[in-house]
Amino acid sequence: MEGLYAFSVGLLTACGVFLTLRGRSFPVVVGITLLSYAVNLFLFSSGRLKMDGAAVLGASESYADPLPQALVLTAIVIGFAMTAFVLILAMRSRADLGNDHVDGRLPPPPKDQKKC
């Protein structure tokens, strides 16, 4: 099981990395989302994998490590905020620059606009 888990995390990371290396803003955002899944799973697993051991006192014999869970919980919510921020930034850059390139290949700006 651990091997399968680690493989999935590695795969998610690889897919996320590949997408963040694309030249347009939207795939980069999707890539970041994938990466954040991978990171959350990775951090979560630092408490080791355990089934049927929710950290609710009295619910089972032994418990899963609650600390990584608490950390990952806030990480998920903040990850959402960050994804949203990057996304809106992407939209804003399209609105202001007129394209969604992030590879530095900007078309020459119109004369009345200053280069950003």
Partner 1 sequence: MGLFWIPLLPLLGTVVPLLSSRFGRSFLALFTAIPPLLALLLLLQLAPSVFNGEVIYQSFDWIPLAGLSLTFRLDGLALLFALLILGIGLLVILYARYYLSAKDNMGLFYAYLILFMTAMLGIVLSGNLIQLWLFWELTSISSFLLISFWSHKSEARKGARMALTITGAGGLALLAGLLLVGKIVGSFDLSVVLASGDLLRQHAAYPVVLVLVLLGAFTKSAQFPFHFWLPHAMAAPTPVSAYLHSATMVKAGIFLMARFYPVLAGTELWFLIVSMTGLITLLLGAYVALFKHDLKGLLAYSTISHLGLITLLLGMNTQLSTVAAVFHIINHAIFKASLFMAAGIIDHESGTRDMRRLNGLWKYMPHTATLAMVAAASMAGVPLLNGFLSKEMFFAETLDQVTLGSLSWMVPVLATLGAVFSVAYSARFIHDVFFNGEPVDLPKTPHEPPRYMKVPVEILVALCLLLGIFPGVIVGPLLALASTSVLGGELPYYSLSIWHGFNLPLLMSFLAMLGGLIIYHNRRHLFRFQSQFPEPDAKLIFEWLVQRLVRLCSAIIDKLENGSLQRYVFLLLLAALVLMAGPMIDLNATLGHQSSMPVDTVSLIGALLLAAGAIATVILNRRRLVSLLTLSVVGLIVSLAFARFSAPDLALTQLSVEVVTMILLLLALFFLPQSTPKESNPRRLVRDLSLAGLIGGVIGTINYAMITRPLDSISGFFLENSKTGGGGTNVVNVILVDFRGMDTFGEVAVLGIAALGIFKLIVHMRLYMPSTDGNGLPWSPDRHPMMLAIVSQSLLPLALLVSVYIFLRGHNQPGGGFIAGLITSVAIIQQYIAHGVDWIKERLRINYQWMVASGLLIAGLTGIGSWFFGRPFLTSWFDYFSLPWVGKFELASAMVFDLGVYLTVVGATLLILANLGKLTTSHSPAAKENN
Q: Helix or strand or coil: residue 101? A: strand
**Residue 3 and residue 26: Cα distance in Å, rounded?**
32
- The least CB distance from residue 61 to partner 1, in Å, is 12
- The residue (of 56 and 114) whose beta carbon lies closer to partner 1 is 56
Which two structure tokens, joined as six digits, stand for 109?
Answer: 């700006």
Closest by CA to 67, choosing from 80, 52, 39, 48, is 48
Considering the complex, what minimum distance in angstroms separates the CB of residue 111 from partner 1? 19
* Nearest approach, Cβ of residue 115 and partner 1 (Å): 10
Question: Could you tell me which of 73, 87, 116, 104 has the C-alpha nearest to residue 29?
Answer: 87
**Residue among 4 and 111 whose Cβ is closer to partner 1:** 4
Rounded least distance, CB 35 to partner 1, Å: 10
Measured from the CB atom, the residue of 59 and 111 that comes closer to partner 1 is 59
Enter the tokens of residue 111: 């004369």
56 or 111: CB nearest partner 1: 56
